[in-house]
Every structure is written in C-alpha cells, then in structure tokens.
Structure 1
Amino acid sequence: MEGIGEKFRQARMARNLTIEEAARMTKIRPSKLTEIEAENFSHFPNLAYAKGFLLIYGKFLNVDVTPYLEAFDTSETMTIDGYSYLQDNPALKPRRAEIARARAPSNGKKSSLLPLVIGVIVIFAGFSLLRLLLDIKRIKPTTERDAAAPTVVTATPVSTPAAIAAGIVAPRALPVDPTPAASSAPADPAMAPTPLPMNSAPPAPPPTAAPIAVAPESQAEPEIRRAEPVHAEDLAKAQAALASPTPRPAANRFDIRPLRKTYLRVTVDNGAGGKSMERWINGAEAPLQFSGKQIAVKVLDPSAVEIRKNGRIVGPGDADVRIE
C-alpha cells in the first residue's frame, strides 16, 4: 500500500501548492506538514496529535486517510511500543528553566531601584517641608514678636514744690535811663509824657559775670520796673509806618512746564496791554516763564502742561490764571 505521506505530496503537487501555501491555508506549521509527508511522527507529543493533523490535511487535499487511521488506534492496554519514538530521540533542553534564569537578574535590578526611588522621594518631601516651615516663620506677623518682647517702663520723676522753688531764678533790675525827661519837652509839649518823680542816683555799674543766686520761693519779691520815656522820633516813625500801605508785588511770575507735546497759546495781562505767545511745545523744552498780573492759557491737552504761580502749582479757581 502506498504511504500516506506520498499521497499527500502528490495531491499537493497536483494542486500546484507549496508547503508554505498549504500551511497558511490549513493553519498548520510548515515543519509539521513536512514531517507528515515524510511520515515522521516522532516530533509530535503523541499519536493523537498526529491523527488530528492527518484528518485536517487529508480533508484539505481531498485524500481519504481512514485506512491509515487504524494504525494510530490504541488498545485498551497501554504499551510503550506506540511511544518508542520518544526513546530514540535525545531529551530536549529545558527552555523554561533557561528563561527563568535569564529573567532572575532583571528582577533583581528592578527590586534594587525601588529603595533608591523611595529614598529620593523622602529627601524631596523633607526638603519641601523644611522650606515651608522657614516661609511660615518669615511671614509671621510682627505683632506677635512685639507682644512677646518685654515692656520697658520708664519712671517719670514727680516734681516737688522744693524742686520747683529751686528752679526759680530771681530777676535782675535793668539800669535806669539817666536822661532827664525835660529834654524832650521843647520838641512836642502836647505829646510829651509826664515825668515821674525819681531819686537822683548814680547809674548802676555794668553787670559782671557772677553766679546767679537761686532764692527760695518764700524770699522772692516782685520786681518793679519803671516805664521808659517815649521820644518824639519813635512816635513819628510809628505813625509813618501805620500810614504807609504794605506794597504789593507789581506782577506775578508764571512758570509753564511742558510734560509732553501739545499746542499752547499764552496771553499775558500786565495792566498796560497784553502780549501773547502761540506755538507747539514738547516735554524736552525748558519751562516757559511769564511776568504779569494775569495770564490766559489755551492748550489742547490741559494735562500736558504744569502751571506754577510764584513757585506754587496753580489750583482750580485761581483768579490770576484762566485756562481756556
């Protein structure tokens, strides 16, 4: 009887299919199809898998595999004859153990980074907390610190009557003018004051730098001062000062300082006719000075100039400055 592998190969060649195309259509790996066509079932886990692949491949190629499946039927008594291919081939290497050993170093590295990350987080949190405490102390109100500071009480000495009496200095008498009052009588007999009788006594000597005697309050006596005579010359000067009016300044001094560029027109009224100035000004110019009783100012932007009268800024309602 022709082998099942040869029948599969001939059917595949008749349909002009390669191993890769048949594997893609049957969802079976190309290596397994090659082993089935070579009738090598030693790499299958057991004959049940090989039986399933035969059915799938036979259905795809329209090959009847029923006569060949009887060879894969097992009896009720399990023997090792059907699994002899497992003893002929060498044992495969434990791949899972290699994978586990290869992953062990990587797991160790990841676990070693965890304490480092935790340490960095703890250091950052501690630094942030310390900075927050310093900021709170810095913005603490000064009233609390002032309240905590001790209050210094200064004792004020109480003034006693004895201390007040010790601070009183007895006044000294001024020298009396020896000029007789009769000398001023011929000048103006109506305005001359009546001379007071006084004893003719020599003028007092000039005071010397002597220590000032402090007399107690009980011995101090009021000093009696004598009125000085009024001379005609002093009276004439006083009357002339009262009669002459206080001179007023003839003109005011106005200063106009430009703050930024604007158009300005100034008309000065000095009582004998006025003069005017009209031009553009800017903030780089020096202040403009005018002299007169009153001025009239016309400016496009009132906030672009600063007006002073006699050194003072002109306020609203000034009668000498009219802003148009």
Structure 2
Amino acid sequence: MTTITPAVPSDATFDGTWPFTANYTDAPGYPAHYIDVGEGPETLLLLHGEPTWSYLFRHQIAEWSRHHRVIAVDHMGFGKSATPKDRTYWLQDHVDNLETVALALDLRDVTLVMHDFGGPTGMGFAVRHPDRVKQIVSVNGPTPLGQPDLIDRLVANAGDAPWFQWILKAHDNGTLEPLLGQLDYTILSTLKLNGFEDPSIVTDAWLDAYRAPFPTPAEAAGAIGWAKGFAAGAHKFEEPDAATRAAISAKPALALWGEKDRTLHAKHFLPLFEAAFPNGKIHRLPEAGHYSPEDAPQDVTSHVLSFLG
C-alpha cells in the first residue's frame, strides 16, 4: 500500500493549544489519527464535523479527561488523519472508517459525543453496534434513527441555511470543488458562514489549527466530499430495524444546541432528537452558534459532566 502522510504533523500543538499525544491506526486503510487521554468510569468517543477536527473539543477534552477516558477521532481527510486520494468521502465511508477504528480499539460502553456530521456518523455506528454504545450526546449534531420525516426536515433546513444554499448552488454551477479546495485561505469565512458567535477566539494559533489540514485542494477532499455528497444525494443513512431502533432509543441521551446555529437549525433538528430519544434531555444554548464547543465551552463542558453523573 502506498504510504500516505497526513498534512498535519503528528507533533503539531498550535502554540500549545493542542497538547495531546497523537495516536494512529492503519485499520481503515489509511493513517487515522485519534487521541486517548484520561481514565475513569465512562469512555467518551468524540466525533467532529465539517470542516473541523478534534481541535473543536480541545477545551472539553482538557476537563472531561480529568474525570473520564476521552477518545477523539479525526475523520478521513480531516485534522491529523490522512487524506487518501483513491477513496470516496460519503457518510457511509465515514461510518465504515469509524466502525473499523472502534473495533480495532475494542471500544465498548462508549458515550458518543457528536458534532455536525459526526452526528449521523456516530448514529450509523450505533445502529451497527448498539451493544457498544451506552449513551448519546448531540452537540449541534443530527441524530438520524429512521425517523419518517428525516428527509423532509433535511430539505426544510437546507432552505433556511446559507451554507447549504451555497453548496447546492456551487454544485450546480461547477464551482464547489475549486472553492472548497481553497480552505487553506477561506476557512474563516466558511466557519463564520456556518455560525460561530465569539470573534475573540480567532487567534493566529486558532486559524493555523483549522487551516492546517487543507494546505492543497487535494487535501481538502474530506471537506469537499461532505458538501458534494449532500448536494449530489450520495450520503446514505443507516436504517435500523425495529429492535435496533428500540434499543438505541432507550439509551440515555442529551442534546446541546447553540441556537444561533446558521447551518443546523434547532427547529428542524431538535424534533428529530426528541423522536429518536423520547426520554432525552435538551439544553438550548441561546448565545452559541453552530460551533457551540467554541462559543460556549464551559456550558458544553459542564452539561456533559452533569449528564454523566
């Protein structure tokens, strides 16, 4: 197999803002990066979204790992994971990769903590392996579980979301790939379009951390793939049978939602969470946007710790 080198060096700390030791597994067929820190009664499996990486959870990791074991995985094409050129980057590919990594690490009784497309990725893993998932935490992350109105809500949300409107238009006129291929230079505008509310967090180290995975258009394949997959209808959600849906719905679940999210609107996605988890808990974060772990780091940290008991 051709050696694939991740774009971000394994020892990159971004001025000490990412102090966690890098680990890698080749189980999914490319160097997949993850961190594994802390110990305690619970195992948290953190799943980021678009176009971020586990750096999004850095504040939470520092605190959660004082009490529990925390594993954060970078999806293929993001963060310190590699970006293979001979792969597709649809939702089902990310579920396949997560499944391979989780089984290689023999993760059991995990609490999934999912942001953005980490939501459907984690839920896909839960559908395939409900016995390995103990609890669900959605942080501005969709929780598809075979709800009959899932597609209707996705379409309605896209009509309200500037980012989805843009990628649909860009896909139709052929500009999506060249534009998202320049994330090295446009990362700030992309993140702002999705919605973060606190400009004071934008430091040179912060920008470097979010730019670093995308130095060339080829290495932006992960970010391009998620957007293109939505526009082209290539993402496939896992469909649980009745027994699996009942098993997952009975698990403890928490939703934290930044209400200023411009990309995943609470009015469309919290009803999906409520349908999936009738006994779940919801905390709205009125001043946080899509990237709520950045906008409301302490709120996200403390709500999850309280949920874990």
TM-score over 0.5 for the alignment?
no
**Greater RCO structure (CA 8 Å; 6+ sep):** 2
TM-score, scaled relative to structure 2: 0.16
Larger Rg, first or second structure (1 or 2): 1
Q: Decide which structure has greater helix share.
A: 2
TM-score, scaled relative to structure 1: 0.16
